[in-house]
Structure 1
């Protein structure tokens, strides 16, 4: 009897102990979220405390039905839930939800007079007094709560008023959270006048966890932990201390069209560090046409060009983030945790017509596989020479459209993405918003305010930033002008869990008519058996990479005509050449080559290509307007007899016969020199070329 009673008590104590551990495991608070943020392994296991991740933002509320005329509406600022009057204050509500939950990412930017000077307030659990109150910029990216990198604005080289402001400090709440912005500068929703407020707020909603609400006292109580997390994020702590690492060196030459496979140590392990450096006669092509492919437990989950996998695209650009690093010497590294239960292989495919030398290292460490463990995955695709549509306005006429980054089916977590593109005109390419659908949603629970906002910066700025743990723009050269751009966003506490399916779309909303290359890479984790809609794009990865505009936009005569905007700029001694895309001026394709701010004596040389040689008549369709000047021209060094006076009181487009000229097979040069400017303050002149006719 005594024995039975003792056993019964022991069993009860054991069960109570298990129950207590279970309850403790479900506790979420400021401390637990900070620890999760610095734990590299956390993202590789499906969350133990089930949560959904969603977003409040200032997206244009006209966006309601996929596919209708307003789906791409662009008045995505100063769109609030409502206006609250509290103690005589005008408080615009940005965020209002019931918990338990946590704010895990908060991005903002502003424009207009006295913008961003309003007061931001966080009200938790229905209490009348805010837990956090202060100037919006000081709260989000200043020092009101915490220093960088958890509170930071980017890029440092951009004027402060044009930066994106990012707060990654977690703000948990037990019952509810309401965030308001007090200002007297708001005149209308959509900010057609007055102050414009843009915001994106990512938040978790827990299904069963017990959450302790944030208090300013937490910053002092957990000061040591907070400082430790900040230091780990800043120094990119790799989380390798104390691990039994098994290194495998990579040093091989892969012949054209061949592959090299490396078997990783068998058993339950995880890749913890992967380093690669490529050497090739054409390094840019090697970065795109050398493929990184991982198989975990027989499932191929990674197939991505090497440069895109490490976040540099097909040109070496420095970056230093939590998950990846690229050095100026071309060494690329990543610290994604990639678990497997039994076996794994890394295969490097060389799709080029030339050999590539590969040096590197892959390190694994033991991993305890359990029912929450997930395989790491990464997908890549390129939309090649994609047409961006016609001239657009804020109501989104001009055919913007949604581009699919990826669709995942299974149970897993979306962990981030990057974008490599080449822009071909002098207009901003990234007005489009992200749209994320989770587990069959008909309307996206994540819809944003612009591609640059999604990637953490603002106002289309081209300046680089490469030292934030979670966001980077290693190159923004193609943001305003023809050129190359790379953006990255890695997710931490803002990783998105899904139980059945996740679809990530991004609007391709380019301000001008253009052909561009647009290549997203996505990173994710899924439990075994998950699938993706992106299959290996071998033919696309083999395509020659684009280094200059003419690699996409051909300056070759086509059917007796070459568009001015297709001609390649050889040189310009003063002013600048852009490609003006406007409706209503009777230009072919609504676009002309537009030389602005030139002065008398300035010269511009444009190049076009002919596939045949001979004597041809040459005509030019030119623009005249009040601020256009007088020019003389030469073709292949031969003067054009006619001087063109582009000054007219009203804008006109007219054909001018230039004469009979010898056209060379291959490259031909058109030189334009300004001889006279119109009287104006700057004494400058404009010149516009619609197209050349060769007949």
Structure 2
């Protein structure tokens, strides 16, 4: 059987010669990493690539070929294998050492059989009698196995499985349809994200018995509690200001000198006049580390909420929808840091900005925290999935340098009459000649399925806003990444297809959260002119 190797040797050569870390990668170490705010601020060591295989339409081959925007995403697979007389669709098949970090599935009907083969074994180590990871024969809790808002046990809907499945040599995931007539197979959508470590990295291969153990079940319960109820650091040295900021004025907060990290940032906002939504868009949060500004975003967008600044309830960020915001992003710096808020709103705004800062031991893997914001109005939507000549791609962000991508917020106003998000994300990393992440739909990227979408919250983000059942008007999606963060050595590029059910236009504002070196650069961002632009729905 031919395997497609998932190891990008060129990526490892970029790092240069070094010894492989002696610590073994296990389910336990991965769960610890998942709930470590500090670990997120480090470039991975041992290094790994993060990629995704999905059921995207296999007619999609190249931007200069027909069907680059092909949208029949429910039938794609790597190949068909005949195993012990069974025809099995191969959804995932890569050589390790590695870890499956995210399995997103949805379908119209859940019958059939999922099988997981590890380390070249002939017989599957894990069998699930449905196209449904909630039927796994062990409990991982609802923070690690998310049920989508439209899920039904036997019918339509899906789930996202975030429990890590490590392997030393290889992993193959297949699905057997319940009938042999291929012309009657149901559409089966999947996205599987995975890490591949350098050769020689020691990884303990998953076995269901590990999960059943009393010690592991206790750990899983603790991880679930942590993910649903993240603890905000309130120790260390506290720096804050509480004051009115006049229109077109700024207020700043100098942080302790020397090697430190912001462990939490808590902001309260109050305005006695004016519109709350407009105010939260026109308060600009800026943060500089070691002499360079790496964070610039409207406050409502920085919070993960977007236009209108509604409620957010997630691992890295909380907002109550009334002006109270908590950020748990760890933000290290070597020498100095400054937090600044600029008021572009028409009225004075009272603000309390509080940072909790503690010592940080800087090393070669430490990265700076970045947040960048971009808005474009009047973007054309198309429902021509077969049209390769038109440019239906929109760029979230392109980063040149080293870092780890950790999440994004899409906040928008949809002028079209109905669903705007048929488009797939296409993420290019380093030397990719084809996107190493090719998705199956906008809502799929944000861990839900079947548009239109209703508001929901998970530890990994959700949909803070969806004003109309048709999806016309205001919408917002946010996704942050724990084990599924994407490291890059020199390039990260995130494009999305602007495809919809019906033609129309959208206004998109995207906030990107990432860690990177201080000299990492982005291709494009928006500034004050977009923040104060006369949006009809904020007038």
TM over 0.5: yes
Match of 1:229 among 212, 223, 233: 223
Instruction: Quote how far apart the aligned CAs of 1:547 are.
Output: 2.8
Matches within 5 A, 1:295-310: 295-310=288-303
Question: Could you tell me which residue of structure 1 aligns to residue 426 of structure 2?
Answer: 435
Instruction: Quote how far apart the aligned CAs of 1:277 are.
Output: 2.7
Aligned partners of 2:129 and 2:135 also within 8 Å: no
Task: Say whether residues 1:195 and 2:186 are aligned partners.
Answer: yes
Quote the Cα distance in structure 2 between the aligned partners of 1:275 and 1:429: 34
Task: Say whether residues 1:527 and 2:517 are aligned partners.
Answer: yes
Quote the Cα distance in structure 1 between the aligned partners of 2:421 and 2:181: 27
Quote the Cα distance in structure 2 between the aligned partners of 1:368 and 1:246: 16
Quote the Cα distance in structure 2 between the aligned partners of 1:62 and 1:513: 23
Quote the Cα distance in structure 2 between the aligned partners of 1:396 and 1:140: 38
Instruction: Quote how far apart the aligned CAs of 1:198 are.
Output: 0.3
Task: Say whether residues 1:206 and 2:203 are aligned partners.
Answer: no
Question: Could you tell me which residue of structure 1 aligns to residue 61 of structure 2?
Answer: 64
Aligned partners of 2:128 and 2:135 also within 8 Å: no
Say which SS state the counterpart of residue 267 (structure 2) adopts. strand
- Is the alpha carbon distance of 1:269 and 1:224 closer, same or farther for their aligned partners in structure 2, counting shifts above 3 Å? same
Q: Which structure is richer in relative contact order (CA contacts within 8 A, separation 6 or more)?
A: 2
Match of 1:383 among 376, 379, 393: 376
Structure 1: which 5+ residue stretches go unaligned?
Answer: 1-21, 552-695
Question: Could you tell me which residue of structure 1 aligns to residue 52 of structure 2?
Answer: 55
Question: Could you tell me which residue of structure 1 aligns to residue 507 of structure 2?
Answer: 517
Match of 1:84 among 81, 84, 101: 81
Question: Could you tell me which residue of structure 2 aligns to residue 370 of structure 1?
Answer: 363
Task: Say whether residues 1:335 and 2:332 are aligned partners.
Answer: no
Query: What TM-score do the two structures reach when normalised by structure 2?
Result: 0.91
Quote the Cα distance in structure 1 between the aligned partners of 2:189 and 2:391: 21
Quote the Cα distance in structure 2 between the aligned partners of 1:531 and 1:135: 47
Aligned partners of 1:317 and 1:474 also within 8 Å: yes
Aligned partners of 1:378 and 1:524 also within 8 Å: yes
Aligned partners of 1:141 and 1:152 also within 8 Å: no
Question: Could you tell me which residue of structure 1 aligns to residue 11 of structure 2?
Answer: none
Instruction: Quote how far apart the aligned CAs of 1:510 are.
Output: 2.1
Question: Could you tell me which residue of structure 1 aligns to residue 90 of structure 2?
Answer: 93
Point out the structure with max Rg over C-alpha: 1
Match of 1:31 among 21, 28, 31: 28
Question: Could you tell me which residue of structure 2 aligns to residue 317 of structure 1?
Answer: 310
Aligned partners of 2:282 and 2:344 also within 8 Å: yes
CA offset digits 1:171-199 (Å, max 9, x no partner): 000001100011135865xx8x6411000
Higher mean alpha-carbon deviation, 276-285 vs 92-101, is at 276-285
Instruction: Quote how far apart the aligned CAs of 1:138 are.
Output: 4.5
Question: Could you tell me which residue of structure 1 aligns to residue 345 of structure 2?
Answer: 352
Matches within 5 A, 1:536-615: 536-547=526-537
Which consecutive segments of 4 or more residues in structure 1 shift more than 6 A? none
- Is the alpha carbon distance of 1:272 and 1:141 closer, same or farther for their aligned partners in structure 2, counting shifts above 3 Å? farther
Task: Say whether residues 1:116 and 2:107 are aligned partners.
Answer: no
Instruction: Quote how far apart the aligned CAs of 1:399 are.
Output: 4.4
Quote the Cα distance in structure 1 between the aligned partners of 2:125 and 2:464: 36
Quote the Cα distance in structure 2 between the aligned partners of 1:52 and 1:371: 18
Matches within 5 A, 1:114-513: 115-140=109-134, 144-155=138-149, 161-185=155-179, 194-208=185-199, 209-221=201-213, 222-238=216-232, 240=233, 244-280=235-271, 281-389=274-382, 392-396=383-387, 399=390, 401-466=392-457, 468-478=458-468, 480-513=470-503
CA offset digits 1:96-147 (Å, max 9, x no partner): 1100000001101002xxx222111110011012121113455247674422
Aligned partners of 2:132 and 2:158 also within 8 Å: no
Instruction: Quote how far apart the aligned CAs of 1:512 are.
Output: 1.9
Query: What TM-score do the two structures reach when normalised by structure 1?
Result: 0.71
Aligned partners of 1:73 and 1:394 also within 8 Å: yes
Say which SS state the counterpart of residue 166 (structure 2) adopts. strand
Structure 2: which 5+ residue stretches go unaligned?
Answer: 1-18
Quote the Cα distance in structure 2 between the aligned partners of 1:194 and 1:522: 38
Quote the Cα distance in structure 2 between the aligned partners of 1:110 and 1:374: 39
Say which SS state the counterpart of residue 31 (structure 1) adopts. helix
The root-mean-square deviation of aligned C-alpha atoms, in Å, is 2.1
Quote the Cα distance in structure 1 between the aligned partners of 2:530 and 2:173: 45
